[in-house]
Structure 1
Amino acid sequence: MSIEVMIVDDSAVVRQVLSGLLNGAQGIVVTHAVANPLLAIERMKTQWPDVIVLDVEMPRMDGITFLRKIMAERPTPVVICSTLTEKGAQTSMDALAAGAVAIITKPRLDLKQFLHDSADELVSAVRAAAGANVRRLAGRAAAPPQPTVKHNADVILPPAEGRAVLQTTERVVALGTSTGGTQALEEVLTALPRVCPGIVIVQHMPEKFTAAFAARLDSVCQISVKEAANNDRVVPGRALIAPGGKHMLLRRTGAYYFVEVVDGPLVNRHRPSVDVLFRSVARCAGANALGVIMTGMGDDGAAGLLEMLKAGARTLAQDEASCVVYGMPKEAVKRGGVEKTLPLNQIYREILQQLASFHH
């Protein structure tokens, strides 16, 4: 059974290149490549695709309107193809809020070269989307293909030695998410009251997009949410989101925590990487931390969560039924780093529990 894909993009070059790349991948067939949503709607009357790759910035009927229409009619996995610009980022946030599963970005120039370079990402996104639980019912996510070379967190920092010194009672919560994570994070963070532990987050996302995402969350949450900048302090009532294209590490000086935002190689094919954040939390917060791994494709964060557990932290995974893609949490459970598995709508309680348990 092949994954049947429909491409909706107003650029003939993009349609041609995307079709070539996807048709070249095993188990994927592009059944239609059309220039706008109106043509797509026509085609979908006779043949409904498994996955739609959708450009969100199109004339005639914009991608978001089309996406909302599909989600209302017959929820289908949609991968957004967006330009790497502030405007593209804003539109993509709307798309994720409307139910898109993943985003891949394309530049304005030298499209062919870029798309070939990110062929893996595109193919992985389509495969993850095909296995995604769009209705968030108990769907089985397809295992993503394992890439050949993968750095682990060693390229950024060495593992924790022994337990972190307990000279502080400040609690830190570290969250790691990928595919489906924007909706999941919104659900967790909007449920938190203004008084809650400091939170550090890695959500796999392209640069420029994390700022728009943080701003969107900040506008709907009681806590403050911002895209992390180097040396930002981690304080109660605030969540810091790692900027796309950079790694984020937790550091401590005396009794307070701050983040370091650094360059470096991709880790587990990602920058920011959840493993890098989790390892840094294991090293400097130890038993004062809670690690939470949520919906996402692949295994980033599984190793780091186990390191956190060994350093004395509490650890938590989102359950399969509430995940859009049960990849990262599944891998974390498999490696033995998860103490407790919970549905998405109960995760915020655990975060607040952290606060309570240390205010003796």
Structure 2
Amino acid sequence: MHVDDSAVVRALTRRWIEEDPRFELVRSCIDGEQAIAQASAAKPDVIILDVEMPKMDGLAALPGLRKAAPQARVIMASTLTSRGASTTVRALSLGAADYIAKPDSKVLGSADTYRRELVEKLLALGGRAVNPVTPASRKTNFQLRKPPPRTGLAGRPNVLVVASSTGGPAALQAFLGPIARRINAPILIVQHMPRSFTKIFAQKLGEHVGRPCREPIDHDPIIPGSMFLAPGDFHMRVAKSARGFELRLDQGPQVHFCRPAADPLFESAASVYGGRVLGVVLTGMGSDGAVGSGRIVEAGGRVIVQDEASSVVWGMPGSVAQAGYAEAVKPLAELGSMALSIMNGEG
């Protein structure tokens, strides 16, 4: 199902979807009210929902659509303006699975980028409906690492590094909400997001979990109680400095087509902190975080990941588990308590 008040965008999207035999456009709606009225009968697997529309916009329509079509994954289609970014971040925090930047007539090639990203997201999110995860169908072709011996407070991690992508904003809130105020160690996060989104999301995340969170600036010191979210279009790495530890930002090549990416953060944390790192990989497309998780466990650190059933897309956590780097694969509701136990030297 596609919901957009622009006739041009609706026509383009219809053409692209109908040209691909893997997809079927079950409805094309002009606003949120029309979409809610038709969603139950249409039974879409994925809803592409415009953020800004007259009559009823995407944010207002989201709760009604999730109620009318609870099986559907929602992709928010947004301009990269500050207003569009703010609304999209709110929608992602309320359970929208992903977002896509709408094509901009002023930017050469933006329509091609939109089409490519749309196909990727439809395949990733729609595949869950075609092949739903049941206990019998869950991937079991991985072996969990044996947890290291308990060493108490002396061996507990000095830093928590977290990676997420598709479905990540809501997952980060659920994961960190019960534990962020109970962990004194720094928390460093990579969520795949564009530059216009990350500052807003960092603020919203901090408000939700009750611990200040912000984008770092280059050379920001890493101190107890700090929580940083990597800024869009910058890799975030850990480095040693005369003052202790600090964050470095760079615009080096994309990793897994992403910047920021989790691997640079995870690898640098392992290099600087050695075995005193806990890595957590949440829902997301692709395999970002797998190489970095390998570096963490090679250095003596620990890695836990979200399970397939509770993930929007089990790409990133699945790649870590299948590589043999995870010591636990847990539902999102259980992952926080396990991380808290490890960070406090109790697990």
- TM, length-normalised to structure 1: 0.83
Q: By how many angstroms is 1:88 displaced? A: 0.9
Aligned to 1:272: 260
User: Are 1:203 and 2:161 counterparts?
Assistant: no
Which of 118, 129, 138 is the equivalent residue of 2:125?
Answer: 129
Q: How big is each residue's C-alpha offset from its partner over 1:197-248, in whole Å with a ceiling of 9 and x where there is no partner?
A: 1011111112111111111111122322112221222222221111111111
Which of 150, 170, 177 is the equivalent residue of 2:164?
Answer: 177
Aligned to 2:143: none
| 1:220-235 pair list within 5 angstroms | 220-235=208-223
Contact 1:174-1:289 within 8 A present in 2 as well:
yes
Percent identity of paired positions between Structure 1 and Structure 2: 35
Structure 1: gaps spanning 5 or more residues: 1-5, 144-167
Q: What do you get for the CA RMSD once the two structures are aligned?
A: 2.7
Aligned to 2:89: 93
- Which deviates further from its counterpart, 107-116 or 60-69? 107-116
Aligned to 1:12: 7
Q: How big is each residue's C-alpha offset from its partner over 1:151-174, in whole Å with a ceiling of 9 and x where there is no partner?
A: xxxxxxxxxxxxxxxxx9870111
| 1:23-102 pair list within 5 angstroms | 23-44=18-39, 46-75=41-70, 76-102=72-98
Which of 322, 328, 338 is the equivalent residue of 2:310?
Answer: 322
Code of the residue aligned with 2:7 in structure 1: it is A
**Distance (whole Å) between structure 1 residues aligned to residue 210 and residue 242 of structure 2:** 28
Contact 2:32-2:60 within 8 A present in 1 as well:
no
SS at 2:184's partner residue? coil
Aligned to 2:271: 283
Distance 1:356 1:31, change over 3 A: closer
**Distance (whole Å) between structure 1 residues aligned to residue 119 and residue 136 of structure 2:** 18
Distance 1:114 1:233, change over 3 A: same
Q: By how many angstroms is 1:177 displaced? A: 0.6
**Distance (whole Å) between structure 1 residues aligned to residue 314 and residue 254 of structure 2:** 22
- TM, length-normalised to structure 2: 0.86
Code of the residue aligned with 1:10 in structure 2: it is D
Contact 1:194-1:222 within 8 A present in 2 as well:
no
- Which deviates further from its counterpart, 266-275 or 315-324? 315-324
Q: How big is each residue's C-alpha offset from its partner over 1:167-186, in whole Å with a ceiling of 9 and x where there is no partner?
A: x9870111011111111111
Q: By how many angstroms is 1:102 displaced? A: 0.4
SS at 2:213's partner residue? strand
Distance 1:82 1:257, change over 3 A: same
Which of 178, 183, 191 is the equivalent residue of 2:178?
Answer: 191
Contact 2:17-2:23 within 8 A present in 1 as well:
yes
Structure 2: gaps spanning 5 or more residues: 140-154
Distance 1:170 1:333, change over 3 A: closer
Aligned length, in residue pairs: 327
